[in-house]
Amino acid sequence: MSIPDYQSIMLPLLKTVGDEREHSLGETVSSLANGFNLSAEERHELLPSGQQPIFHNRVGWARTYLKKAGLIESTRRGYFRITDRGLNVLKQNPERIDAKFLDQFEGFKEFRTYKKSVQDKNKKIADEEAATPEEALANAYENLKNELAQELSLQVKAVSPEHFESIVVDLLVAMGYGGSRKEAARAIGRSGDEGIDGIINEDRLGLDVIYIQAKRWEGCVGRPEIQKFAGALQGQHAKKGVFITTSTFSKEAIDFSKRVDSKIILIDGEALVEYMIEHNIGVNLATKYEAKKIDYDYFIDD
């Protein structure tokens, strides 16, 4: 048979982990390949990039969609298991699980709505047939990036407060602040002042400093939190501060940050993961494509 698409893999994948044991992705890929009776050639057929087998990639995407719907959950790096919701779905004995089926679950609906809102905001071309090859490639890239951003956001929100502070340090150093990683790590979490989590050099020479507030947050960060941070800055006679959160800021908080004497930069959860992707924090390169065009000048006779 031909290699199944990722939606056709969803139900067999869920059945495979229905034993309630912990499973690795590699083990699951092998088991599913046997279940689909894939030939050795089909199991090793690569994506156009040549970086990964097609079937492995599709199993990975099926797993991602099931996780978004809450049918499976990660247990540790590279491992996952079925959830109570997933077991309940199996008891219903569905004929097929696909994106339409998963739309009944709130987490998956939010995931799909998020993707659509980002695409609408960026005015992406929805009709692939109307798109040029360059536009289709750019649109596909944005879809992959949006998927990555949301997955990264979930990972960041799940870490401990100490780990979150470490992520902030890594990001700021990658962006050129704080001098060395060791110097920056000493600064974060050591200030002890109310409303301030740390102090980091603005440049490698330490000509100026930036005060940091880094918080994992549920719900919207309101004006009172920014007022408290601004007060802490004033108490230190500080001119610059960065407030980083995994959540969002209210309009009142944003407006207030623009009116205070100190320069306060607000980085919400969406901007945080965009910076992390841009500076390769918590992500790595999976595939690289180069789009080339004809150099017509090369073919002109001298």
What is the pLDDT at residue 298? Answer: 80
Burial of 257 (0-12, 13-18, 19+ CB in 10 A): buried
Q: How large is the average pLDDT for residues 125-130?
A: 51
211 CA to centre of own chain: 26
Whole-model pTM? Answer: 0.64
What pLDDT, in 10s, does the model give residues 209-259? 888 888 888 789 999 999 999 988 888 888 888 999 999 999 999 999 999
What pLDDT, in 10s, does the model give residues 1-25? 689 999 999 999 999 999 999 999 9
Q: Which band of pLDDT confidence, cut at 50, 70 and 90, is reported for residue 124?
A: very low
Domains of the chain: 6-121 (1.10.10.10), 161-278 (3.40.1350.10)
Pair 147, 111: CB distance under 8 Å: no
